[in-house]
């Protein structure tokens, strides 16, 4: 009995000790959701950057100025190439990293059935043409016999009617061949623009389906590298096109990649790039700003970067002093970076001089430097018009149109802005818009000779004059009118001929077709030379010959019968 009491007392004391220790530990440990010191140290190690570069898991500090997170992308953003129809991947002609030109064949889907359909349609067309030849000959003979009274009028009418039926049969057969060729062309996947193969999404033998927006190839123009930055809404008033800046990336911690702003989004949006900082605001509105880098061949599309924009130019042009009454003092306003303004004027004059000599590339570079060096350039609209014209003379219609539209916003009463828009639209094959823009220029200046020349050239195309493209095709040809500054023709007939020949020798057939079309429009006496050139290419390259001289009926007939994939030398790639 005594032993039981002793054991009971020992157990009770032990239980009380354990309970007291548990209570003491709970009190000394603090709140139950507080992290332990070991957990804090581990999180600190994981959140620390591996090197001295920007840690993209952390939000930018508020003292970083005009800055934002961004993503590296090609010059024209990535192009995801697909097909309208599903099919089995039969051949792949490129590899990742290959550089391709516009119209280059990338891959081919299984086309055995479509090739058979093209062969059948071509055979049907040949049979229809043969039947038409026989019925047409019979009809002519029937006409002669009917005039001599050898056959009745009913017999003559039946012969003429049969010829008409066979002629309609030829048209139907030609349409079926065109339809079969179009279906075949859909299985030949071509590059829509110049660029580098960034990704092949399929392999030979795999089945491709366009459902869900799936792509076959991802293409990007890496001639220039850009970074698309998310700039906080607080700073959008301090950002302008031409603004200098730079980016840093974690992979190249000790390097800054300089560049300039080339595009600013026209609306606000949500953040595209987010960090791993739990305190980051995700509801912040941003404006996308595109920074084009001077030399960043090491950076690959998709790489995260941090961009910083310079505030120097903006501050020098906006800081003003106020007198005691609160009025802006003239001396303070006059202190706007005189060196910058001088540089802008010098670049502008250099651009005009280069354009006057036909050095369009140099003109583009000079005009762009003028715009970038002074965002408040007094003659900004005039410089933009010079830049637009230089781009268009180089065949860079999209860039030219963009500059002309900016100039129109600054100088809506200047007829040169809609005139250059008409030139750009015409070069892009958008002829209805070109006509509207040319008419707008004439409404501002009814004596604008160059705008009238554009309208006259468009009318000739619409009427199907020699040199105009066949119906249904969108020509690349330019409208030959004045140069940027002098009002003279851009080149003589001999110079246009030399340019076309040089392009042909360089293998740039599409550009050569455009050059010769412009040459013929500007100098009709060159038409015999172009017809002779087309005849020389008839056997070696039928498509080139036809595009050089689409008014030649023999070439048009031969081209309509020819099958196989087209290189779109006559028309823009869609």
Listing DSSP states for 461-509 in one string gives HHTT-TTPPPTT--B--------SSS-S-SS-HHHHHHHHHHHHHTT-H
| Main-chain phi, psi angles of 163, to 5 degrees | -65, -40
Tokens of 51: 């090197």
Q: What is the Cα gyration radius of the chain?
A: 35
Instruction: Enumerate the H helices of 281-430 as residue ranges.
Output: 312-318, 330-333, 338-356, 360-373, 380-393, 397-410, 416-427
What separation in angstroms does the CA of 98 have from each of 104, 221, 222?
11, 11, 11
The predicted pLDDT at position 339 comes to: 37
Q: List, in order, residues 6 or more apart from 258 with CB less than 8 Å away.
A: 244, 245, 246, 293, 294
The predicted pLDDT at position 123 comes to: 92
Q: Thinking of the domain 62-75+224-318, which architecture would CATH place it in?
A: Beta Barrel (2.40)
Kindly report the number of other CB atoms within 10 A of residue 97's CB atom.
8
Which residues partner with 260 through β-bridges?
A: 244, 292
- Identify the CA nearest to 74 among candidates 215, 226, 219: 226
CA–CA distance, 220 with 80 (Å, rounded to integer): 9
What separation in angstroms does the CA of 516 have from each of 93, 317, 360, 475, 503?
31, 48, 19, 12, 10
The three-class DSSP label of residue 98 is: coil
DSSP annotation of 35 reads P
Instruction: Enumerate the H helices of 36-91 as residue ranges.
Output: 37-47
| Main-chain phi, psi angles of 23, to 5 degrees | -65, -40
The predicted pLDDT at position 332 comes to: 34
CA–CA distance, 252 with 49 (Å, rounded to integer): 13
Tokens of 358: 């036909």
Q: List, in order, residues 6 or more apart from 563 with CB less than 8 Å away.
A: 118, 119, 122, 177, 180, 181, 184
Q: List, in order, residues 6 or more apart from 379 with CB less than 8 Å away.
A: 348
Spell out where 17-156 has E strands.
Answer: 67-74, 79-81, 87-92, 99-100, 105-109
DSSP annotation of 571 reads B
The predicted pLDDT at position 497 comes to: 74
CA–CA distance, 503 with 484 (Å, rounded to integer): 23
CATH number corresponding to 81-109+188-220: 2.40.50.100
pTM of the model: 0.43
CA–CA distance, 247 with 235 (Å, rounded to integer): 17
- Our measurement of the distance from residue 475's CA atom to the centroid of its chain's CA atoms, rounded to an integer in Å, reads 18
Tokens of 430: 């958008």
Q: Choose the CATH number for 112-186 among 1.10.287.470, 3.30.930.10, 3.40.50.970, 1.10.40.50.
A: 1.10.287.470
User: 416-427 vs 431-444: helix axis angle to the nearest 10?
Assistant: 170
The three-class DSSP label of residue 93 is: coil
The three-class DSSP label of residue 13 is: helix
Tokens of 28: 């000394």
Task: Residue count of the chain, please give it.
Answer: 574
Which residues partner with 306 through β-bridges?
A: 69, 248
The three-class DSSP label of residue 274 is: coil
Instruction: Yes or no: say if 480 and 514 are a contact pair by the CB < 8 Å rule.
Output: no
Please give the chain's pLDDT, 574 residues, in tens.
566 665 666 666 666 666 666 665 655 555 555 555 555 555 554 444 444 444 544 445 444 568 888 989 888 788 888 888 888 998 898 888 888 888 888 998 988 888 899 899 999 989 989 988 898 888 888 888 888 888 888 888 888 888 889 889 989 989 998 888 888 888 888 888 888 898 898 899 999 888 877 889 998 888 888 999 988 888 888 888 888 999 999 888 778 899 999 888 888 887 776 665 555 566 578 888 898 998 878 888 888 888 999 875 433 333 333 333 333 333 333 333 333 444 677 788 788 888 777 787 888 888 888 888 777 777 788 888 999 988 888 888 888 898 998 888 888 888 899 999 998 888 887 888 888 999 999 988 888 888 888 888 888 777 654 444 333 333 333 333 333 223 334 446 667 777 777 777 666 777 788 878 777 776 676 777 788 888 777 777 778 888 888 777 777 777 777 655 555 666 533 3
Max distance between CA atoms of the chain, in angstroms, equals 155
Q: Thinking of the domain 348-561, which architecture would CATH place it in?
A: Alpha Horseshoe (1.25)
Q: List, in order, residues 6 or more apart from 460 with CB less than 8 Å away.
A: 467, 468, 521
For the chain, the domains span 62-75+224-318, 81-109+188-220, 112-186, 348-561
CA–CA distance, 115 with 32 (Å, rounded to integer): 74
């Amino acid at each position: 009995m005594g032993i039981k009491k002793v054991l009971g007392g020992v157990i009770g004391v032990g239980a009380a000790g354990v309970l007291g220790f548990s209570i003491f530990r709970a009190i000394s440990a603090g709140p139950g959701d507080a992290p332990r010191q070991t957990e804090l140290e581990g999180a600190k190690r994981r959140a620390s950057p591996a090197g001295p570069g920007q840690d993209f898991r952390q939000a930018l500090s508020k003292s970083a100025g005009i800055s934002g997170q961004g993503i590296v992308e090609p010059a024209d953003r990535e192009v995801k190439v697909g097909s309208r129809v599903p099919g089995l991947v039969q051949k792949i002609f490129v590899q990742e990293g290959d550089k391709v030109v516009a119209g280059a064949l990338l891959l081919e889907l299984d086309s055995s059935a479509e090739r058979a359909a093209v062969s059948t349609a071509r055979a049907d067309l040949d049979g229809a043409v043969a039947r038409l030849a026989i019925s047409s000959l019979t009809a002519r003979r029937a006409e002669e016999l009917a005039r001599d009274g050898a056959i009745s009028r009913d017999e003559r009418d039946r012969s003429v009617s049969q010829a008409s039926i066979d002629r309609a049969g030829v048209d139907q057969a030609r349409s079926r061949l065109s339809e079969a060729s179009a279906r075949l062309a859909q299985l030949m996947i071509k590059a829509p623009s110049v660029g580098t193969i960034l990704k092949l999404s399929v392999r030979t033998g795999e089945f491709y389906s366009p459902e869900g927006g799936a792509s076959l190839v991802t293409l990007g123009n890496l001639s220039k590298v850009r970074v698309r930055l998310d700039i906080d809404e607080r700073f959008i008033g301090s950002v302008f096109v031409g603004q200098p800046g730079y980016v840093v990336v974690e992979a190249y911690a000790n390097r800054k990649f300089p560049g300039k702003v080339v595009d600013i989004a026209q609306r606000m949006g949500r953040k595209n790039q987010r960090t791993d900082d739990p305190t980051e605001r995700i509801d912040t509105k941003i404006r996308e700003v595109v920074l084009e880098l001077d030399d960043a061949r090491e950076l690959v599309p998709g790489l995260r970067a941090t961009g910083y924009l310079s505030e120097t130019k903006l501050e020098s042009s906006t800081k003003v002093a106020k007198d005691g009454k609160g009025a802006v003092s003239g001396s303070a306003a006059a202190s706007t970076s005189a060196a910058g303004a001088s540089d802008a004027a010098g670049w502008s004059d250099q651009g005009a001089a280069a354009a006057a000599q036909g050095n369009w590339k140099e003109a583009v570079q000079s005009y762009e430097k003028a715009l970038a060096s002074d965002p408040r350039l007094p003659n900004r609209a005039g410089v933009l018009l010079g830049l637009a014209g230089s781009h268009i003379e180089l065949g860079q219609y999209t860039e030219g149109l963009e500059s002309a539209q900016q100039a129109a916003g600054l100088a809506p009463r200047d007829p040169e802005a809609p005139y250059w828009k008409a030139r750009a639209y015409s070069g892009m094959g958008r002829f209805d818009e070109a006509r509207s823009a040319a008419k707008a220029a004439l409404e501002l200046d009814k004596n604008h000779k160059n705008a009238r020349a554009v309208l006259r050239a468009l009318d000739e195309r619409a009427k199907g004059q020699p040199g105009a493209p066949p119906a249904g095709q969108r020509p690349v040809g330019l409208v030959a009118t004045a140069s940027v500054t002098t009002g003279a023709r851009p080149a003589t007939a001999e110079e246009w001929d030399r340019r076309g020949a040089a392009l042909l020798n360089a293998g740039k057939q599409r550009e050569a077709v455009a050059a010769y079309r412009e040459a013929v429009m500007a100098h009709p006496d060159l038409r015999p030379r172009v017809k002779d050139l087309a005849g020389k290419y008839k056997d070696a390259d039928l498509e080139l010959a036809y595009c050089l001289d689409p008014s030649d009926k023999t070439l048009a007939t031969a081209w309509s019968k020819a099958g196989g994939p087209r290189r779109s030398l006559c028309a823009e790639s869609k």
